[in-house]
Amino acid sequence: MAKADQILTANRLRDGDVVYWKGGQWVQDLKAADIFTDKPAAEQALRDAAAFVATQIVVNPYLFDARREGDVVRPVKEREIIRAAGPSVRRDLGKQASHVPL
C-alpha cells in the first residue's frame, strides 16, 4: 500500500470553521491546502502552527491522511470527509452547499 500524503488542519477559534494550512497561513478550502509528501515537512508545518494556537487564531491543529485521485486530493478517513464538507446538520449550509464534490 502506498504511503498517504498528509494535510494540516485545525479549527479557527473565531467561528469554529475548519481550516487548512497553506504556505504558513490558514485557508478554508481543502483544495487549496498544502499537501505534504514527506514526514519532516509535515511535522515542521505542525510545529509552525503552534504560533497560531498561542495567539488564539486556531485550536487543535493536526495532520490527517489524504490520497490523490488524479488531480483531486481526498481525505482518507470519514471524519475528515465530513469536516471538509461543513456542518452535517443541514446540507444547504456550509461547504457542501456549494455542490462541489470533495
Give the C-alpha separation, 26 to 74, whole Å.
18
Give the DSSP H/E element, type plus range, for residue 36: none
Ordered per-residue pLDDT tens for the chain, 102 residues: 456 799 999 999 999 999 999 999 999 999 999 999 999 999 999 999 999 999 999 999 999 999 988 888 899 999 998 888 876 666 666 565 665 544
HSE at residue 15, side-chain half, CA atoms within 13 A, is 7
Amino acid 94: pLDDT? 59
pLDDT of 71 reads 84
Read off the C-alpha cell for 60: 487543535
pTM above 0.85, yes or no: no
β-bridge mates for residue 59, sequence order: 11
